[in-house]
Amino acid sequence: MKRQWRGRIGRIIVAALFIVVAVLMVRYARSVDWPAVAEAMAGYRPKTIAAALALVTLSYLIYCGYELSARAHTGHGLPARRVMLMAFIGYAFSLNLGAWVGGGGLRLRMYTRNGVRPGVVAHIAAFAIAANWSGYLLLAGAILAARAVRLPENWSGGAALGLQALGVAMLLLVGLYLWACARWPHRPWSVRGQELRLPSLPMAALQLGLSAFNWMTIAGVVFVLMPEPVDYLELLGVLLTSAILAAAMHIPAGLGALEGAFLVMLGGQVAKPQLLATLLAYRAMYYLLPMLLAVPAYLALEAKRRGTRTGKASD
């Protein structure tokens, strides 16, 4: 009887997840100005689009690297190709629809359906979050501490000093994380009832390197699409600023935060219509295209899993 109830509850949760994903996808699709996206894409030469798509592919491969590193850290043993497929699907959904969907619900479903315990999945998620934001703190901290970003003219000198202090604090947090990994590698910590373990120092350094390289690659996508020359470090700083704004406001795909940060900090260097067209092209390549590929990939994964279970049942 308990197993029957557990099965029913599980099916209800899965159905709810699919409904939430479907609703979010419809809302997201309606929020996209498709004619404007098509117009922005039509303004680029094929070699520019090819270069940007190559960087997009590299970025998603680095996301797969997060999950493969988490596989080595947790020792769950799933095949590398399966982990990479689930990573691509999870990050595409997460970037477009929010971390709760891709990094939470879908990751949990995909991993548990492949025999990984929920506690291990939580460990994988924590590892990926630490990877993503450790590199962010390193880059943002270095850029802010060095005052590499040109602030708007109407900002006071106190704001510049405050951001510089924030950058130093970010770098200290990265140092503290690395020190903790060196001091207490693999020590269990209880977080909200889940047992998590810090990675070793070499694994933490790998997290840091992958993440920093990924943020630089993402900035490279926008840099390639810019119609006018812009300082790369300054553009990277603007991108990092928009990312923290989107995370703080829980905005899927950074809608609004991205454009706002770029218009405020780069609007004096690049004409606003051209800047908005660049960001539309960036969204199309980095968010929409991977999502269009991830949806059928996820449905195929679900169908394959159902087919495997049906085959075993008939045996």
pLDDT: which is higher, 109 or 304: 109
Across the chain, mean pLDDT equals 79
Identify the weakest region by mean pLDDT among 98-112, 147-161, 214-228, 268-282: 147-161
Stretch among 28-37, 207-216, 237-246, 283-292 having the lowest mean pLDDT: 28-37
Q: How confident is the model at residue 135 (pLDDT cuts 50, 70, 90)?
A: very high
Which pLDDT score, from 0 to 100, does residue 206 have?
A: 94
**Section 291-300 average pLDDT:** 89
Average pLDDT over every residue of 162-180 = 91
The residue-averaged pLDDT of 293-308 equals 79
Average pLDDT over residues 69-73: 92
- pLDDT tens profile 14-23: 455 555 555 5
Spans of all domains in the chain: 46-306
- Residue 255: predicted pLDDT: 55
What pLDDT score was predicted for residue 182? 93
SS3 per-residue string spanning the chain: CHHHHHHHHHHHHHHHHHHHHHHHHHHHHHHCCHHHHHHHHHCCCHHHHHHHHHHHHHHHHHHHHHHHHHHHHHCCCCCHHHHHHHHHHHHHHHHHHCHHHHHHHHHHHHHHCCCCCHHHHHHHHHHHHHHHHHHHHHHHHHHHHCCCCCCCCCCCHHHHHHHHHHHHHHHHHHHHHHHHHHHCCCCEEEECCEEEECCCHHHHHHHHHHHHHHHHHHHHHHHHHCCCCCCHHHHHHHHHHHHHHHHHCCCHHHCCHHHHHHHHHHCCCCCHHHHHHHHHHHHHHHHHHHHHHHHHHHHHHHHHHHHHHHHHHHC
Top pLDDT among 67 and 113 is at: 67
Q: Give the mean model confidence (pLDDT) for residues 136-148.
A: 88
Q: Does pLDDT of 207 surpass 90?
A: yes
Higher pLDDT, 203 or 161: 203
* pTM attached to this predicted model: 0.81
Give pLDDT, residue 41.
Answer: 64
Q: What is the mean pLDDT of residues 5-33?
A: 52
Report, as an integer, the average pLDDT of 87-113.
82
Higher-confidence residue: 289 or 193? 289
- Position 314 scores a pLDDT of 45
Proportion of the chain above pLDDT 90, given as a percent: 34
In tens, the pLDDT along 240-281 reads 887 776 665 555 555 566 777 777 777 777 777 788 888 888
What pLDDT, on the 0 to 100 scale, is given for residue 7? 47
Q: How confident is the model at residue 31 (pLDDT cuts 50, 70, 90)?
A: low
User: Does the pLDDT of residue 219 top 50, yes or no?
Assistant: yes
The model's confidence at residue 315, banded by pLDDT at 50, 70 and 90, is very low
